[in-house]
Structure 1
Amino acid sequence: MIVQLTGNVKFPITLDPSVWIFDDRKVEFDQAFQSSDVEQDVEDENEKASKRWNREVYQQKINPPVNKSISRFERKKILQSTYVMSLKPFLENAEVSDSASSAILVTNNGNQEISLDTLKEGFALFAVEGKPLKEDGPLHFYFGDESNKDTPIKGVSEIKIK
């Protein structure tokens, strides 16, 4: 259930989509293609998280830290929602070479070559109704322009940067 990000990158990395359910960068599938609203929501959420962090750091100086868990409502929502993740932050961490221009998505049904820009703007579906993709996973790839919303690239097990 892991995905290798290899090829023309400075740092090859291993992605584990099974833990992305706990990642704050995940986006609900239905909201992923509402670009400007999602970006604004992410920025707003980042600002709120920053303020929470500052408040927590300040309070830790006064009070001991408290182990806070996910609320029952949040847990239920996580286990019932379908999520995607942008691959852009992972590509930035891998430091894709300037000479790279395309990517090969290695799947169970053969390879598919796409442009690097398409990969950066796309989304990886990793959970349906809160559960990882087991049969045709670990990832499904959706173009950022929704052109393959009904026919995603399924069974992505490796991403090779060319």
Structure 2
Amino acid sequence: MENIILLKGKVKFPITLDPGVWIFDDRKKELHEFFSNEKIETDDIESYTKAVSEHWDREIREGAIVPPTLKTEKVFKKQQVLNGTFGISFHHFLKNASPVKEATIIKVITTEGAHTFQLKEAENFILCFSRDGKPLKEDGPVHLYLKDGSNRKHPIKNVKAFEIE
């Protein structure tokens, strides 16, 4: 139970977060990707449609052939998961919890105390859940980073819950 994080308070749907399963989540990214200067916001449906249409075009031109690099790509992705440092945007979970309209503050509760932010700022939280392919056991289960990178050297550690007020 020490790896479970609660998202509670003035929300329509309180959520229990388990960072141990995020390694299988398609929304995860390498932590450095969140802080790169190149900010590209994409629409999930639009990017999916483009990928499917590119695949369809390739099959029309070349036929349905499995590329020879497919095995190599699987090995690379496995190595990336085993050695990577990953994070996930908090806004996915915040959206699912559906904060009520009068909610304005979010408290990040840690073992050392609480950190208070405006609810708007929570859209920019990044939850790091894996370092060098390993879960964050000593000072985890997650480290909280701000998307602007202002706390990149000193993230908020030992996060136990998020409380919306």
Shorter-normalised TM-score: what interval?
0.7 to 0.9
In the TM superposition, what is the alpha-carbon distance from 1:39 to its structure 2 partner? 2.6
Distance 1:20 1:50, change over 3 A: farther
Matches within 5 A, 1:4-23: 4-23=6-25
2:82 aligned to 57, 71, 79, which one? 79
Q: Are 2:152 and 1:156 aligned? A: no
In the TM superposition, what is the alpha-carbon distance from 1:44 to its structure 2 partner? 7.1
**Equivalenced residues, count:** 150
**Percent of pairs identical after alignment?**
39
Q: Are 2:111 and 1:108 aligned? A: yes
RMSD, matched Cα: 2.8
Asked if 2 retains the 8 angstrom alpha-carbon contact of 1:32 and 1:38, the reply is no
Paired residue secondary structure (1:91): helix
Distance 1:49 1:18, change over 3 A: farther
Q: Which moved more, 1:8-17 or 1:32-41?
A: 32-41
Runs of at least 5 residues in structure 1 that lack an aligned partner in the other structure: 55-68
- Give 1:96's aligned amino acid: P
Matches within 5 A, 1:62-73: 71-73=74-76
Matches within 5 A, 1:52-63: none
Inter-partner Cα distance in structure 1 for 2:46 and 2:132: 25
**Bigger radius of gyration among the two:** 2
In the TM superposition, what is the alpha-carbon distance from 1:138 to its structure 2 partner? 0.7
Paired residue secondary structure (2:23): helix
Q: Residue in 2 aligned with 1:66?
A: none
Runs of at least 5 residues in structure 2 that lack an aligned partner in the other structure: 57-70
CA deviation string 1:62-98 (max 9, x = no partner): xxxxxxx982221111111101110101111111111
- Give 2:139's aligned amino acid: D
In the TM superposition, what is the alpha-carbon distance from 1:102 to its structure 2 partner? 1.1
Distance 1:99 1:40, change over 3 A: same
- Give 2:90's aligned amino acid: L
Distance 1:42 1:145, change over 3 A: farther
Inter-partner Cα distance in structure 2 for 1:5 and 1:125: 16
Paired residue secondary structure (2:78): helix
- Give 1:11's aligned amino acid: F
